Amino acid sequence: MKTAILALLLGLSLPALADRMPLPADTPASYKAECGSCHLAFPPALLSAGDWQRTLAGLKSHFGTDASVEGRNSQEIAAFLRRHAGDAGRLGSAGDPPRITQTARFSHKHREVPARFWSDPRVKTAANCEGCHRGAAEGRYSEHDLAIPGLHG
């Protein structure tokens, strides 16, 4: 009986997992402030611990900007990202410098998105999650919650 209920719960919750990716409850305010000012404060599970570490090590010259973080905030952010990082094997290589948008997992999830949308002026870049996912700031990535008509297929 217990197993049946568990199987039912798992069955119901699995499809919802991938499109709900809110920031973890223990997200430090420093992460939202320091890493959410130029772009979305990305969900930590979308890069591996090693790739986050490489990202943090290169903040002084971060995609053409200086995104350095000082002192205590730097340690707090590093510990947070390590704690919630995704599995390197499942994500696939993120390139150098690491990009969420270069991982095999990202490509796989977006394989049905027509090419013209990536360069659409409303989107501009693949890293602009909110350009397509209007609920991204709240962690909502459902295909039923997209910002642009016709985006899906």
Q: At residue 64, what is the residue type?
A: G
The verdict on 62 binding ligand HEC (CB under 6 A) reads yes
CB of 25 to ligand HEC, least distance (A): 19
The verdict on 141 binding ligand HEC (CB under 6 A) reads yes
CB of 6 to ligand HEC, least distance (A): 23
The verdict on 134 binding ligand HEC (CB under 6 A) reads no
Identify which of residues 4 and 16 has a Cβ nearer to ligand HEC in the complex: 16
Phi/psi at 57 (5° precision): -70, -20
Count of H-run helices and E-run strands, the chain: 7, 0
Q: Which residue has the tokens 């992460």?
A: 31
How far is 141 from 132, CA to CA, in rounded Å? 9
Considering only the stretches 2-10, 82-90, 94-102, report the one whose residues sit in contact with ligand HEC under the rule CB under 6 A: 94-102
- Out of 23, 85, 91, 132, the only residue in the binding site for ligand HEC (CB under 6 A) is 132
Tell me: cis bond preceding 97? Omega within 30 of 0 counts.
Answer: yes
The verdict on 38 binding ligand HEC (CB under 6 A) reads yes
The verdict on 112 binding ligand HEC (CB under 6 A) reads yes
The verdict on 45 binding ligand HEC (CB under 6 A) reads no
CB of 130 to ligand HEC, least distance (A): 8
Token pair, residue 70, equals: 């000082």
- If you count them, how many residues does the chain have? 153
Q: At residue 105, what is the residue type?
A: R
